[in-house]
Chain A
Amino acid sequence: MSHISLVDVTKRFGSVTAVDRLNLEIEKGECFSFLGPSGCGKTTTLRMVAGFEDLDEGEIVIGDRVFSSSYKKHYLPPEKRDFGMVFQAFAVWPHLNVFENVAFPLKIRGLSKAKIIERTRRALDHTGLLKMERSFSNELSGGQLQRIALARAIAINPVVMLLDEPLSNLDPKLREEMRFEIKDLQKKFGFTIIYVTHDQAEAMALSDRMLVMNFGVVQQVDTPMNIYNNPVNQFVFSFIGLSNFIPAEISDGKVYVEGARDAGPLPVAIPGERTDRSRDKKVTLACRPSEIDLHDREGIFGIVKGKVYLGDITDYRISVGSVEVRVQKNRRRAFWSEGETCRLKFNRVLWYDREKESGSALYP
């Protein structure tokens, strides 16, 4: 039984469709991320779940309760939804001190004074803020402000926690630390997380499952591992991790880099259905820079155009005909020099249809 379900959720701003028929099921206790470039509709979707935006079409159901529905003309305002939410700019109220900020949602709910103190203290304790409960926001650092926002969100023990790019205003080191803290809090309180971010590393580190969006349309919903390893289309492939897209043509059962037949055929197996029907078909090969090996005896020929030594890895730019291929190797041996001819062996490639606009995947 799914916990949160979004059915055909659609939102338009004027003539722009920000979110287009989005369908999604999120399990209870799951940490689920919305990932995509800015303007892809991920924040709009989150704001619809939160109730800050009404739906143009569709329905949002959580548990067995309908929160928004265009069919039933029903819309529950955000203050009635009992969610926790953390914003990118923290939104810590500058005229209230740390304690008053965290106690605010409890006061609104009319809890007794003793209860308010107890639960505020508990939230402050879990976020390591007990010592600074009398401070004001101008005296605190970005990380501390973020903890206040988190404490305020968990104070009411929400079933659902919404996080809107909560870490993007922090410096990289603090960002990693906070990821763990958010995970820890989830373990302690057991809430379901919906997490919006444009940072793929953050999404992969935190999520049980994630959704990749572009132009208001869902591209793929899966576990981080599946999304990284089997992206359904070129957009997802390029959005998660580093990527090479190599234009290629199939001829006589062999695959060549386009315009570089003399580099030799690629030592890869052609997907089964390709061999018979699609002779002389143009495809796009996608592959991660780390999944290419540099060899002196096997593979297609290329010339090393540039090399950057980064310590743990070496980053090569190798041209095959007019196509540039990026290769990352972490081995100490086989240091190729600029201008040298080398051979490339592809450990894993994914095939994408070049004639279809979406560039969706053609699996072997």
Chain B
Amino acid sequence: MTIDIKKWGVAEIVLVLSILILVVVVAIPVFMIFWNSFVVDGHFNLNDVVKVLGQPDTYEALKNSVIIALGVTFFSTVIGVFFAWLVSRTDLPFKEGMKLLFVVPFMLPSFIGALAWKMLLSPRSGLINKLLMNLLGLEESIFNIYGFWGIIAVETMYLFPFVFIQVSGALERMDPTLEESARISGAGLFTITRKITIPLVMPSILAGALLVALYSLAHFGVPAILGTQVGIYNIPTKIYEKIHQSAGSFMAIRTGTVLASILVVSAGVILYVQNLVLKSGRFQIIAGKSVRPMLLKLRGLRVPLLILSLVYIFVTVILPTGTIFLVGMLKTYGVSITPDHMTLKNFKYILFTWKMTKDAIWNSVYLSLSAAFVTMLAGVMISYVVVKMKVKGKWFLEFLGVLPFSVPGTVIALGVILMWSGKFGVNIYNTAWIIFVAYIARYMAFSLKSNSAALEQVHDSLVEAARACGASHWQAMRSIVLPLIRPGMVAAFFLIFLPALRELTTSVLLYGPTTRTIGVAIYTLNEDGETVYAAALSSIALIIIVIGHLVIRRITRSRLEGAQ
């Protein structure tokens, strides 16, 4: 489909508008970060960057980020691959249900999980520690959640679904005759797994592992709650500390931007490698026709492995979630969990009385709704140009379109601070607007991904057929393209709305006195020692998130039924 209406037709206008959005929302903030790190008084200056990196605390933060990311990636990969194999290649009972349960940690905010684990395993007041000390008559607590192992364990619980989803998807789509022909060649199941199955799903394993590494490297919530208290900072928490404690001094911002640049570069490298891995055309393993794959009969191990899976889900999902709800109902933190210490007053207080929490809930709801809506629409337009239009200068938009994927939340926050605090004549620092702009930048990647996937499904000939029937370009768009990509648009909206609702990493750097979000409120309540209120607010956040996910399921399911 070629569109060349004179020199400045609709196509060019849409292209320029798309480029403008990405430039203002993502490119300039990222550029500002690099500019701030490498340019001093109008000169390129690498010495200062080296100096910043040589400072013990920044160097330490870098090292910690890498250690945590490596640990989390390793354990997430092992756990994710194991459970993916278990639910798609064995006769484990209740597999369909288990498949859903393993993805649940995905929708739970990891910083709430960290909070729960703090309540369970902190050395002195942790519920499990207290229980064990009483039971065994110990003086010292057994577990200490603060520190590297705690951070790695908690992040793994919430990030392993990246690997699980990738690998179980690959195993299910894989042509079963690839394994069957190995079997008829004489190979046993163990040999097949080692020589055929694992090598074939390796790209998916790597892709999942790299995603985990990317998230962990730039993750704020868990290290903030479980690390800072014992002096362990990673890159995002170090940036947060610098910006907050030194009240925007030049040196603090320099350190922040240098660390942020490192994050952007490493994210870019990770995504580039992932792209290479996924694109390696050697691995076209998708089945032509669906045949049920051979399932390994677990026999005697069937029940033990089911119990193992259930225990894993209990420990990673039910135990922390339950703890949050129970602690949220306590009259004061530290008392034992018994019915006479319980009250629902906490919920009433934060929902209806306390202005700070009421504001936070309201801020999160309207910010995430509006950001989701705007980002979804912008994503449709940009994806349409990239996927469907043939217009000069598109390559520049394609290049810009990759940018949102490699910019972590902390970097976005720093970038918008640099850009929107008066430097370009607009100062929206400390208002809700700066969070709104940051959310658009942060979630643009989701919108682009979902919308361009939907648009790629709409074959050009469908539009051409409409044009041949006499529809104008706009009519074809409205009556053919938009209805067909509506599922992608709805998906994009929820993909943005739900994570934005519980967002912490970006908002924690941007909030002002009246613009706390739910995530920020929970985080600051926890910092201030208001553990019970933090738990109560977390419970409310969890309820909203679960309702949101149920709504999506409802929508996607009714759409499926409608299509049949």
Residue numbers of A with Cβ under 8 A of B are: 50-52, 77-85, 87-89, 91, 93-95, 104-105, 108-109, 136-138, 149, 152, 156, 162, 169
**Cα-based distance from A276 to B196 in the complex (angstroms):** 69
**How far in angstroms is the closest Cβ of chain B from A259?**
41
Residues of B within 8 A of A149 (CB): 181
* Chain B 265-306 interface mask (CB, 8 Å, partner A; 1/0): 000000000000000011111011100001000000000000
Which of A52, A85, A91: most chain B CB closer than 10 A?
A: A91
B180, B186, B187, B285: the one contacting A82 at CB < 8 Å is: B186
B185 x A152 contact (CB < 8 A): yes
Tell me, yes or no, whether B177 is within 8 Å of chain A by CB: yes
**Cα-based distance from A45 to B285 in the complex (angstroms):** 25
**How far in angstroms is the closest Cβ of chain A from B526?**
48
Residues of A within 8 A of B178 (CB): 91, 93
**Cα-based distance from A137 to B281 in the complex (angstroms):** 10
**Cα-based distance from A88 to B289 in the complex (angstroms):** 9
A109/B186 contact (C-beta < 8 A), A89-B175, A89-B177, A94-B200 known: yes
**How far in angstroms is the closest Cβ of chain B from A150?**
12
A91/B289 contact (C-beta < 8 A), A104-B185, A108-B191, A136-B282 known: no
Residues of A within 8 A of B104 (CB): none
Tell me, yes or no, whether B42 is within 8 Å of chain A by CB: no
- Return the chain A residue nearest B281 by Cβ: A138
Residues of B within 8 A of A156 (CB): 185-186
B187 x A52 contact (CB < 8 A): no
Which of B181, B188, B283: most chain A CB closer than 10 A?
A: B181
**How far in angstroms is the closest Cβ of chain A from B327?**
48
A78 x B188 contact (CB < 8 A): no
B186 x A94 contact (CB < 8 A): no
**How far in angstroms is the closest Cβ of chain B from A69?**
19
Residues of B within 8 A of A109 (CB): 186
**How far in angstroms is the closest Cβ of chain B from A284?**
35
Per DSSP, chain A at the interface is loop
A79/B184 contact (C-beta < 8 A), A89-B175, A93-B178, A108-B191 known: yes
A85 x B289 contact (CB < 8 A): no
**How far in angstroms is the closest Cβ of chain B from A197?**
15
**How far in angstroms is the closest Cβ of chain A from B369?**
45
- Return the chain A residue nearest B179 by Cβ: A91
Residues of B within 8 A of A78 (CB): 180, 183-184
**Cα-based distance from A346 to B216 in the complex (angstroms):** 81
B 12-61 contacts with A by CB, 8 A: none
A82, A91, A162: the one contacting B175 at CB < 8 Å is: A91
A79, A87, A91, A95: the one contacting B188 at CB < 8 Å is: A79
B186 x A108 contact (CB < 8 A): yes
Residues of B within 8 A of A51 (CB): 184
Report the number of A-B residue pairs with Cβ-Cβ less than 8 Å.
Answer: 79
A89 x B288 contact (CB < 8 A): yes
**Cα-based distance from A79 to B124 in the complex (angstroms):** 57
- Return the chain A residue nearest B175 by Cβ: A89
A94/B184 contact (C-beta < 8 A), A88-B289, A89-B289 known: no
Residue numbers of B with Cβ under 8 A of A are: 175, 177-178, 180-188, 191, 195-196, 199-200, 202, 281-285, 287-289, 294
Between-chain CB contacts (< 8 Å), 29 pairs: A78-B180, A78-B183, A79-B184, A80-B186, A81-B184, A84-B184, A87-B180, A88-B288, A88-B289, A91-B177, A91-B178, A91-B180, A93-B182, A94-B282, A95-B202, A95-B282, A104-B182, A104-B185, A104-B195, A105-B186, A108-B185, A108-B187, A108-B191, A109-B186, A136-B282, A137-B282, A137-B284, A152-B181, A162-B184
A93/B196 contact (C-beta < 8 A), A79-B183, A105-B185, A136-B282 known: yes
Which of B175, B184, B187, B195: most chain A CB closer than 10 A?
A: B184
**How far in angstroms is the closest Cβ of chain B from A336?**
39
Residues of A within 8 A of B177 (CB): 87-89, 91
A52/B285 contact (C-beta < 8 A), A95-B199, A105-B185, A108-B191 known: no
B284 x A94 contact (CB < 8 A): yes
**Cα-based distance from A321 to B32 in the complex (angstroms):** 86
Residues of B within 8 A of A50 (CB): 180, 184
**How far in angstroms is the closest Cβ of chain A from B201?**
10
B181, B195, B202, B294: the one contacting A91 at CB < 8 Å is: B181
A79, A87, A138: the one contacting B187 at CB < 8 Å is: A79
**How far in angstroms is the closest Cβ of chain B from A195?**
15
Residues of B within 8 A of A162 (CB): 184
**Cα-based distance from A94 to B284 in the complex (angstroms):** 7
A169 x B186 contact (CB < 8 A): no
**Cα-based distance from A85 to B182 in the complex (angstroms):** 10
**Cα-based distance from A2 to B282 in the complex (angstroms):** 44
A104 x B187 contact (CB < 8 A): yes
Residues of B within 8 A of A91 (CB): 175, 177-178, 180-181
**How far in angstroms is the closest Cβ of chain B from A230?**
34
- Return the chain A residue nearest B203 by Cβ: A95
A85 x B184 contact (CB < 8 A): yes
Residues of A within 8 A of B186 (CB): 79-80, 82, 105, 108-109, 156
- With A52-B294, A108-B185, A149-B181 known, 10 other A-B pairs at CB within 8 A are A50-B180, A50-B184, A79-B187, A85-B184, A93-B200, A94-B283, A95-B199, A104-B195, A137-B282, A137-B284
- Return the chain B residue nearest A162 by Cβ: B184
**Cα-based distance from A93 to B178 in the complex (angstroms):** 6
B182 x A95 contact (CB < 8 A): no
**How far in angstroms is the closest Cβ of chain A from B33?**
40
Residues of A within 8 A of B294 (CB): 52
B183, B184, B281, B283: the one contacting A95 at CB < 8 Å is: B283
Which of B180, B188, B200, B294: most chain A CB closer than 10 A?
A: B180
**Cα-based distance from A162 to B185 in the complex (angstroms):** 12
**Cα-based distance from A81 to B185 in the complex (angstroms):** 9
Residues of B within 8 A of A93 (CB): 178, 182, 196, 200
B181, B188, B195: the one contacting A85 at CB < 8 Å is: B181
**Cα-based distance from A169 to B200 in the complex (angstroms):** 22
Residues of B within 8 A of A95 (CB): 199-200, 202, 282-283
